[in-house]
A and B are shown apart, each in its own frame.
Chain A
């Protein structure tokens, strides 16, 4: 039992657990849309694009959450606008924007010699350095992201399922796409400190993909995805504590292990209900 309770003596560990729980919830709920709408590439782009925001925030001594948030939302807007036109395909627009933003981050870092030490933390996460203030900010961000998503669930799911119908019904589809990208950015920002820039995508995709294997209902998928994200986060954090390995990597490997476990059971195990393995019309 002390394996579970010992780490909790430490203030940094309690804060880290809180941070990872928030990460699991935010990226679990929003990750469902990332997986269902095939937005993994956009998610990846957004995580990289926030890098210069983080660098500037560190340089100015401000919260990296704030820096990432501002830049992430600007990038989300940029992607939405550029891909709206027909001249540049969405993939291309994203590729151009996110590489440019990441490059900007790299250039900024190279000018700030004093902060280079922190770059590894920015890229790989430093969950043990989460401050009380970061935690409040992350909690607020998670609450906004999750509540907004749940309030807009019926519109967001309609657009995801049948965009044409949403347009025909007069919904502001472009605006709602933008809101969704903004919400995904919020989830990324919450996860940054715990997981690190490079691995955030895994938290957005893997728990939701695991949940999709287990349910045919959107709300259940979102709940399961959050639960799986939190579970992987907590387990990974304990692994990182006891084996002294990087927390972000431990969490991501845990969620990946859970995915393959579930995948194996669902694919190879007895087939109970018939699952959706239908022809895709695209």
Chain B
């Protein structure tokens, strides 16, 4: 497994210092401190309700912490979960990819040819070059995920926050994601991926953050995913079979 890229510029893409976020009485993030180094792929894992989405939204500035400080020093891009978008909207895959560049395009203006070319390239990078002019609702779930990834690429951000980008993804989508994430890392960008897939994140992330309101562990996958830490996060027994962690079923019913 690769180690945290300490060779990269010493500054972090983002720093959270003792951040607490609550919805009313309900504390979702409790005293979270994290340093997100540049040029790394960081997996954000934890059970449902662990605060993964809340953490991403806090980094985006959509939520303000009750206490603690959030210091994001680079432009941030975002890929929301697949569910809520209105897929029957009369937009093409290209239109959706272009949305990522809207802030650059600015108010009252339409994306020009250069933007459109970049958007087509972004769709090409995720293997959807020939789908650019399809209405988004006609694409499969995996293809939609890739369109949203292309849109995130269009934001040209240095810190990319992907909220469960791979849930239910097919093999082609998973491969396209992995390739894209690696090339982003090579460009010195930081990618945070929230996921339920322990195996995928252990194999492909430089750093893992195991979250259950608090940070249970943060570091290289081997350390972050120790059986004790997993049990602590998921509140149940964890079986280790041939080096693979398996959550015992009762762990899922702890909520």
Q: Do A and B assemble together?
A: yes
Q: Verify if A1 is at the interface (C-beta below 8 Å from B).
A: no
Q: Give Cα A221 to B89, complex, Å.
A: 11
Q: Which residues in window 206-233 of A have CB below 8 A to B?
A: 212, 215-218, 220-221
The answer on a CB contact under 8 Å between B78 and A36 is no
Interface residues of B in 57-73 (CB under 8 A from A): 57, 60-62
Asked if A80 CB lies within 8 Å of chain B CBs, one says no
* B43 CB to nearest A CB, Å: 20
For A170, what are the chain B residues with a Cβ–Cβ distance below 8 Å? 61, 103
Complexed CA–CA distance, A162 and B81 (Å): 10
Question: What total of chain B residues lie within 8 Å of the partner, measured CB to CB?
Answer: 33
A221 touches B90 (CB 8 A): yes
Chain A interface size, under 10 / 10 to 19 / 20 to 34 / 35 or more: 20 to 34
Q: Does B171 contact A (CB under 8 A)?
A: no
> Is A160 a contact partner of B89 (Cβ separation < 8 A)?
yes
- Judged by a CB distance under 8 angstroms, whether B96 is at the interface is yes
The interface bits of chain A over 144-168 (1 if a CB of B lies within 8 angstroms of the residue's CB, else 0) are 0000000110110110111111011
- Which chain A residues numbered 224 to 282 have a C-beta less than 8 Å away from chain B? 274, 276, 278, 280-282
Minimal Cβ-Cβ distance residue in B for A277: B137
Check B5 for interface membership: any CB of A closer than 8 A: no
Given contacts A168-B62, A169-B103, A276-B135, contact A217 B90 (CB under 8 A): yes
Supply 22 A–B pairs (Cβ within 8 Å), ascending by A: A154-B99, A154-B102, A154-B110, A154-B111, A157-B89, A158-B102, A161-B89, A162-B85, A168-B60, A168-B62, A169-B78, A169-B102, A169-B103, A169-B155, A170-B103, A212-B90, A217-B92, A276-B88, A276-B135, A276-B137, A278-B87, A282-B84
**Ranked 8 nearest A-B pairs via Cβ:** A276-B137, A216-B135, A168-B78, A278-B137, A164-B80, A162-B85, A161-B89, A218-B90
Given A163-B84, A216-B135, A217-B91, list of 16 further CB < 8 A pairs? A36-B86, A157-B91, A161-B89, A162-B84, A162-B86, A165-B99, A169-B78, A217-B92, A218-B95, A220-B90, A276-B88, A280-B87, A280-B88, A281-B82, A281-B83, A282-B84
